[in-house]
Amino acid sequence: MLINVDGAITKPESAEPGRGPRENPVVVGISMVFMVAALFYFLLPVYILVVAATKAQPELATTSGLVPSSSFFINFGNLIARDDGVYLRWLLNSVIYAVGGAVLGTLLASLAGYALAKYKFRGRESMFNIILGGVLMPATALALPLFLIFTKVGLVNTYWAVLLPSIVSPFGVYLARIFASTAVPDELIEAGRLDGAGEFRIFFTIGTRLMAPALVTIFLFQFVAIWNNFFLPLIMLGDQDLYPVTLGLFAWQGTTKNVPELQTLVLTGSVVAVVPLVAMFLLLQRFWQSGLSAGAVK
Amino acid sequence: MTTTAADVSAGLAPAPSTKSRSGPGKWQPWLFLFPFLIPFVLFYVAPIAYAFYQSLFKIERTGGIFGKPSQVFAGLSQYASVFSDQDFRASILRVLVFGIVQIPVMLLISLGLALLLDSTLVYFKRFLRISFFVPYGVPGVIAAIMWGFIYSPNLSPIVALLNKLNISIDFLGTHVVLWSIANVVTWTYAGYNMLIIYSALLSIPQEIFEAARLDGASNWDIARRIKIPSVAPALVLTGVFSIIGTLQLFTEAKVFTNISTAITSSYTPNLVVLAKAQNNYNQSAALSVTLAVGTFILSFLFLKLTNRRAGA
Q: Indicate which CATH number applies to the domain containing A184.
A: 1.10.3720.10
- Based on the fold, state whether residues A175 and A285 are members of the same structural domain: yes
Given an 8 Å threshold on Cβ–Cβ distance, is B134 in contact with A181?
Answer: no
Smallest Cα distance from B75 to chain A, Å: 18
Cβ distance B125 to B208 under 8 Å? no
Residues in A touching B40 (Cβ below 8 Å): 131, 134, 168, 170
Asked if the C-beta of A249 comes within 8 angstroms of chain B's C-beta atoms, the answer is yes
Q: How far apart are CA A151 and CA A237, in angstroms?
A: 11
Smallest Cα distance from B111 to chain A, Å: 13
- Based on the fold, state whether residues A61 and A203 are members of the same structural domain: no
| Digit-coded pLDDT (tens) for B2-20 | 344 444 444 444 444 444 4
- Based on the fold, state whether residues A87 and A59 are members of the same structural domain: no
The parent domain of residue A250 ranges over 79-296
- Based on the fold, state whether residues A31 and A166 are members of the same structural domain: no
- Based on the fold, state whether residues A142 and A177 are members of the same structural domain: yes
Nearest residue on chain A to B254, alpha-carbon basis = A250
- Based on the fold, state whether residues A42 and A167 are members of the same structural domain: no
- Based on the fold, state whether residues A206 and A60 are members of the same structural domain: no
What pTM did the predictor assign? 0.86
Cβ distance A174 to A131 under 8 Å? yes
Asked if the C-beta of A238 comes within 8 angstroms of chain B's C-beta atoms, the answer is no
Residues in A touching B237 (Cβ below 8 Å): 295-296
Give the best residue of B1, B36, B116 to mutate against chain A (max A CB count within 10 A). B36
Q: What is the pLDDT along chain A (298 residues), one digit of tens a residue?
A: 333 333 333 333 334 444 444 678 888 899 999 999 999 999 999 999 999 999 998 888 888 888 899 889 999 999 999 999 999 999 999 999 999 999 999 999 999 999 999 999 988 999 998 898 888 777 677 888 899 899 999 999 999 999 999 999 998 998 899 889 888 888 889 889 988 888 999 999 888 888 888 888 899 889 988 998 899 999 999 999 999 999 999 999 998 878 888 889 999 999 999 987 888 877 877 777 776 766 554 4
Residues in A touching B160 (Cβ below 8 Å): 64-65
Residue A3 is assigned to a structural domain of this protein: no
Smallest Cα distance from B212 to chain A, Å: 10
- Based on the fold, state whether residues A196 and A224 are members of the same structural domain: yes
Residue B288: exposed, middle, or buried by beta-carbon count in 10 A (0-12, 13-18, 19+)? Answer: buried
Domain end position, chosen among A38, A69, A100: A69
- Based on the fold, state whether residues A149 and A214 are members of the same structural domain: yes
The three-class DSSP label of residue B59 is: strand
Spell out the alpha helix ranges (H) of chain A.
5-10, 25-52, 57-62, 72-81, 86-118, 124-136, 139-153, 159-166, 170-183, 186-194, 199-202, 208-210, 212-228, 231-236, 245-254, 262-283, 285-297
Residue A182 is assigned to a structural domain of this protein: yes
For residue B68, report the phi and psi dihedrals to the nearest 5 degrees: -70, 130
Nearest residue on chain B to A258, alpha-carbon basis = B258
> What CATH code would you report for B86-278?
1.10.3720.10
Closest to A250 (Cβ–Cβ): which among B131, B138, B141? B141
Count of structural domains, chain A: 2
For residue A245, report the phi and psi dihedrals to the nearest 5 degrees: -65, -35
